[in-house]
């Protein structure tokens, strides 16, 4: 069974689709058996594609983007091995939704995986900004990829050791 990772932001049209596309690219490059998707804590954009500025930032960096926004649901905790929040607000909201401690333990902040992040672990919302804000989000996401890939490899190994 594939290892499953999801990224969660507010509306699922900016930050989490960027993280989803970048991470999917990396796991495919490495040939890892990982399913990657994303969702939002709110339902305002359910069914919408990613923000056009998100798509443009991804294309400029050479990443593919095919996305349909959806809202994270409490029942999904069992589906995922790792649930990645894009900021502290998402982290708190997801932990509040978690049905138990095991589910809550799956939730992590993306920037926890970036050793240069320091104490600022939020990926800022670029929605009310411009091109530079979306490019900055992409840079922050990319900086967390090596650490996240290491975490996922370790999780996959631990899971296969218990199989």
pLDDT digits (tens, 9 = 90+) for 10-46: 999 999 999 999 999 999 999 999 999 999 999 999 9
Output the domain CATH number for residue 35. 3.40.50.2300
Question: Of the residues 4, 70, 108, 125, which is catalytic?
Answer: 125
Q: pLDDT tens-digit profile of 132-161?
A: 999 999 999 999 999 999 999 999 999 888
Q: Is 14 among the residues known to form the active site?
A: no
Q: What is the pTM of this model?
A: 0.97
**How many domains is the chain built from?**
1
The sign one gets for the Cα dihedral 124, 96, 112, 72 is negative
Q: Is 125 among the residues known to form the active site?
A: yes
Q: Which domain holds residue 137?
A: 3-161
Q: Is 131 among the residues known to form the active site?
A: no
CA distance 146 to 100: 29
CA distance 111 to 123: 7
CA distance 52 to 143: 23
Write down the pLDDT at residue 1. 85
């Amino acid at each position: 069974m594939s290892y499953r990772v999801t990224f969660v932001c507010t509306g699922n049209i900016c930050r989490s689709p960027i993280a989803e596309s970048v991470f999917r690219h990396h796991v495919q490059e490495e040939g890892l058996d990982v399913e990657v998707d994303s969702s939002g804590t709110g339902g305002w954009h359910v069914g919408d594609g990613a923000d056009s500025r998100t798509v443009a930032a991804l294309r400029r960096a050479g990443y593919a983007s095919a996305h349909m926004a959806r809202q994270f649901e409490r029942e999904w905790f069992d589906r995922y091995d790792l649930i990645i929040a894009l900021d502290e607000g998402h982290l708190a909201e997801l932990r509040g939704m978690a049905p138990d401690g095991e589910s809550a333990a799956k939730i992590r902040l993306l920037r926890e995986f970036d050793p240069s992040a320091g104490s600022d672990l939020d990926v800022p919302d670029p929605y009310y900004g411009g091109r530079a804000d979306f490019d900055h989000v992409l840079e922050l996401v990319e900086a967390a990829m090596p650490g996240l890939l290491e975490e996922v490899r370790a999780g996959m190994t631990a899971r296969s050791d218990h199989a």
